[in-house]
Amino acid sequence: MTGPTRAPAAPRAADRLGWEDPWLRTYPAASGRPPRIRLVCFPHAGGTAQLFHGWAARLPKDVELLAVRYPGRQERLSEPFAEDMAELADAVTAALLPRLDRPLALFGHSMGSTVAYETTLRLESRHGVVPRRLIVSARSAPHRIRRTGLYLRGDDELLAGVRRLGSLGSEAYDIPELRELLLPALRADYRLVENYRPASPPVPTQAPITACLGLQDPGCDPDSVLAWSELTRADDFALRTYPGDHFYLAPREAELVADITKDLEA
């Protein structure tokens, strides 16, 4: 006895466009129809698109998730790292242009918050596209970032500085083969964010901003995160806090994605 006939699977966004973009890992809307909105997610320093793998199943069925893939890791291991923030944000913005047929919201974690902010500015100023919302996580506002010089230090000191923030994925650095593979990306990302200089005064975005913060995050003080409110209209800013350290988003994934869903509905 045969089971019910299934409808053919909906093509992935990349397939519909006819090519696979190295910058974006696409998680199509579960509805199988064109999405209502696209959520673009930017990982932290040393991080990868894999950070957001579990999010797609938690999002509404009409939301497509695009996870940004930085060069120099995973599928792009052989490619050179981005040299500066402008280069990185320009490339991500260009990758998003074929996807502007639907509204966008941007989420960035730690370094990813800064990349998401700079991408938002480019979408607005160059293409007249205002994202539905910019959601920044575990990152001080661009004009309040404190520099550590960690990328200039030895491997052990760099890793100690990262581990002070939290333990997400840090056990991989205890395996010599993985340490050798992962450390260059981590150092390159720290060099990129520490050499980043925002415009002075910083450029506000037309998009509403939600800032998210782990209450025990040693890398961000609440005042510096609240300073994101200076980059949007006063009534378009919200602050959300969660129990946990710099990498609160892993144990609080369900709660965070539920809150982001509320932002997408607003």
Q: Which residues are catalytic?
A: 110, 246
**Which residues contact residue 156 at a Cβ distance below 8 angstroms, ignoring those fewer than 6 apart?**
none
Asked if 236 contacts 209 with a C-beta cutoff of 8 angstroms, the reply is yes
Q: Give the residue among 196, 211, 86, 206 at the shortest CA–CA distance from 139.
A: 211
